[in-house]
Chains A and B, each alone.
Chain A
Amino acid sequence: MTAIEKTIDSTLESACQSKTLVCDGNEAAAWGVALSRPDVIAVYPITPQSSLVEYVSQFVAEGIIDAELMNVEGEHSVLSALQGAALAGARTYTATCGPGLAFMFEPYIRTPGLRLPIVASLVTRDTLTPQCVWGGHQDAMLVKEAGWIQMYCETVQEVLDTTVMAYRIGEHPDVMLPVNVNSDGNYLSYGVTGISLPAAPLVDAFLGEKNVNWHAALDPERPMAIDPLTGGAGGPGPKMFVNYRKGQTDAMQNALRVIEETHKDWGDRIGRHYSPLVEEYRLADADYAIVTIGSMTGAAKDAVDEARDRGEAVGLIKVKTFRPFPVAAINRALNKVKAIGVVDRSVNFGWNCGPLYQETIAAAQKLQRFMPSASFIGGLAGADITVEHFSEVIEDTAKLLKGHSYDEPVWINRND
């Protein structure tokens, strides 16, 4: 270890040593990045992610993060530069959302195929248009079929912890895929709370030795072509392509196991345990449940508690890992109830419902029994889904047990 590395180590270590910190989700993400020791970071600011990349830049300026910081001219180049860096062996990081993610889309859809374990925070934001700079899941939901792992955080602390875990998940040899750590714009990005910083040596031990491009590299010492053309019916091209694709989908399925192992090991080492795929809350004796994703879950849990106090047999199912979709885990939860109300912060235009709703009932189909269900859409454009809103959601979901059915989604916040 060189003298410089020692200095930087002590900077990060002293910065993180058994610290309790009052900060927002964007700063928490930046601490997660610092603890993960990336080599190359590329940034371009966009609301509500901007303060995240400002924190990261500040940490680089102060020496808390020892990384190459690239201030490039747009999100397209952000991810392109990181692809290059990862192909040269770098651990990499960026963050984006909304229109920035849309602009990044071309390299974004290519990253999983290149099998590069890039970590990118999505500080989720509703999509244009109408013009809007506020939170919502529409941006992340639009890219759900691109092949990235996507985990939605519920709390500021979970943002930090999941950012570190994302590296171990993505870089696992059975996975080798990029990871989005999704935090709700406004609610998590700017929501201030107390968190604790894990000690740097504990995180170093958790992440282990860095080995990013063992499978493919742009290195004159082992020359190879990256991504030659596969092509043409009648030749070997389609078969190669099919096998590459299958490798990707297999890796996504492997990720379910690795995500669980990683969360368990994080809990064992750091002392904070999360449900890696699906969280069940007061579900054991529930007749029905609401299904949530992201930061809305806090208010939803309060509403469930209140309903329980009223004698309602309601529970909650929270999806943390949305890609790959944890079919088995969600069905274990769904199997405990007779009806569900699914709350989305985005819409599925094709099915006139929320995307989480669509995915959940698709999974439920494997239970081979009819699951009465309702789709709730709320929290668009930064709107607050309050405890009162969730009480109504619970009430509307309970109606399913009495034979009520919904032909359309129930829109929350429409009359706020």
Chain B
Amino acid sequence: MGIGYNTITFNQDKCDGCGDCMLACAQAKAGSDDIVHSRIQILTTDQPSGDPQASDSGAIELAMCRQCGDPKCVSNCPAAALTKNATTGTIDWHADKCVNCLLCTVGCAFGGITYNAEIGHVTKCDSCDGNPACVKVCPKGALEYNTSGSIYNRISDKDDLFVPGLSACQGCNSELLIRHTLRNVGTNVVVATPPGCIPGMGTVGYNGKTGTKVPVFHPLLTNTASMLAGIKKQYNRVGRDVTMLALAGDGGVGDVGFQSLSGAAERNEQQLFMCVDNEGYMNTGMQSSGSTPAGSWTSTTPVGKEMQGKRTDAKNMAKIMMMHNCEYVATASLAFMDDYYEKLDKAIAASKHGFAYLHVYAPCPTGWRFPAADTIEVCRKQVESNFVTLWDFTPEQGLRFTRSTDNPIKMAEYLKQIGKYRHLSEAQVEHLQRRVNDQVRSLKAFEQLTEVS
């Protein structure tokens, strides 16, 4: 695994060009209100391109150091005044070595290192030692300090407990999830994977061979939580602390698996139950489930003269589990890995005391009809559009959003990437938007409460 670093990310769609970031940077780095000292520059393209189809007319762009992995500024520098910091990942500029030749500025395609005439040498972003001033002031959330890259460094030392080479579809979100989850959970675990994509890709194995380096089994589609509860009871009886982990699809969670899940949550059984929600029965050929959103094409909610995809809304399983007052409930998306890791740690800890439920949204390139390379992007837009929301819950704390639901991107931005929504009418899109707004409003109401059930 390569080395990953924290980075400042910029979302063009959210930026309104207010310039607060530049002011904050100038103040932080030069003690001045003059944005000439800012190492982040927000640029507005004033000149329309003339092409009516072009979307870049009047677009906002960012000039700032990307802290490149293969930095041209560093290789251009004849004086070794620029170096890549192996620990932080930033490109460090050393004043004592700089000969002011400005070759570095020629090398950079991002406007990330520029000559500041007022002080007489180049300046560049140093990420404020991991606490960037620009990110803190951005009112639209267009700038974020993304820490997920460095997480990969932390976990790369841990054993991958899943075999290399699986029969998952290209671009599968669930394989990524399993690898990361098992790395963190470790070997002192029993893993239950009810029928679905997760065992289908070889987790339990085929013909006497296993796909996992920890104890793993097929429960029925219907009884995952009950079987884990029985295992845990016996380990408690003999005084051994073993983690119980379920990796279940949305059908084994919210449809046919719901009774045993609800019963186990009511009894506060000590287990971490994870729903990997790909909005349907993808393993068996993309049939509709209780998690399939309204309007979705599936192979059992086809599109024709009499039916235009699923007729009813998905149930919000995470909310339903919150109403069970579980030890811990959270939603997560693999586009927000740092958030996921934080929640996974909390869920593992909670499962030592009682029932922990993690609902991970898992867009499926095969079943949803989008290119395999776009999985993480679809994950991201699913969250950014509020189609799904990231939050967690404990009985003491109540519900807490872990990512703001303010200023979402347009629903259409999310839907347009996905083939299963291609046929949607305006009315259907409006329905989905209303549903999403209602869900956010309802969750926000819960945020105000500490006692939910």
Contacts and interface: CB of A to CB of B under 8 A. Distances in A.
Point out which of A71, A107, A237 has the most chain B C-beta atoms below 10 A from its C-beta. A107
A20 to B, nearest CB: 33
Contact of B226 (A68, A76, A217): A76
A230 interface: yes
Nearest to A213: B234
B190 to A, nearest CB: 5
Contacts of A107: 220, 223
A77 B217 contact: no
Contact of B215 (A220, A229, A230): A220
Interface of A: 39-40, 42, 68, 70-74, 76-77, 80-90, 92, 106-107, 110, 217-220, 223-231, 235-237, 240
B229 A70 contact: yes
Given A76-B222, A84-B226, A228-B208, A90 B233 contact: yes
B213 to A, nearest CB: 6
A225 B229 contact: no
Contacts of B199: 229
A interface secondary structure, majority: mixed
Nearest to B236: A68
Contacts of B190: 88, 218-220
B187 A84 contact: no
A229 B230 contact: no
A218 B199 CA distance: 16
A225 B227 contact: no
Nearest to A114: B217
Given A88-B235, A220-B190, A225-B211, A106 B220 contact: yes
Nearest to A228: B205
B192 to A, nearest CB: 8
Interface in B185-212: 187-190, 199, 204-212
B146 interface: no
B184 interface: no
B207 A237 contact: yes
Contacts of B233: 40, 68, 70, 81, 84-85, 90
Nearest to A235: B207
In the A-B complex, the 3 residue pairs with the smallest Cβ-Cβ separation, listed nearest first, are: A84-B230, A73-B263, A225-B210
Given A88-B230, A228-B207, A229-B205, 10 more contacts: A40-B234, A72-B267, A73-B266, A84-B230, A220-B190, A228-B206, A228-B210, A229-B206, A230-B206, A237-B206
Instruction: Indicate the member of B204, B212, B216, B231 with the most A CB atoms within 10 Å.
Output: B231
Contact of A219 (B215, B222, B230, B266): B215
Contact of B209 (A77, A90, A110, A228): A228
A217 to B, nearest CB: 8
A395 to B, nearest CB: 50
A227 B204 contact: yes
A89 B207 CA distance: 24
5 contacts: A84-B227, A88-B190, A106-B223, A225-B211, A231-B206
Counting chain A CB atoms within 10 Å of each CB, which of B188, B214, B228, B230 scores highest? B230
Interface of B: 187-190, 199, 204-220, 222-223, 225-238, 242, 259-260, 262-264, 266-267
A84 B228 contact: yes
A92 B263 CA distance: 20
A117 to B, nearest CB: 14
Nearest to A73: B263
A227 B223 contact: no
A227 B262 contact: no
Contacts of B242: 220
Contact of A85 (B189, B205, B234): B234
Contacts of B223: 76-77, 80, 106-107
A146 to B, nearest CB: 15
A74 B210 CA distance: 32
A237 to B, nearest CB: 5
Contacts of B260: 73, 76-77, 80
A218 B226 contact: no
Contacts of A42: 230
A220 B241 CA distance: 11
Nearest to A238: B207
A185 to B, nearest CB: 26
B200 to A, nearest CB: 8
B271 to A, nearest CB: 10
B211 A81 contact: no
A73 to B, nearest CB: 3
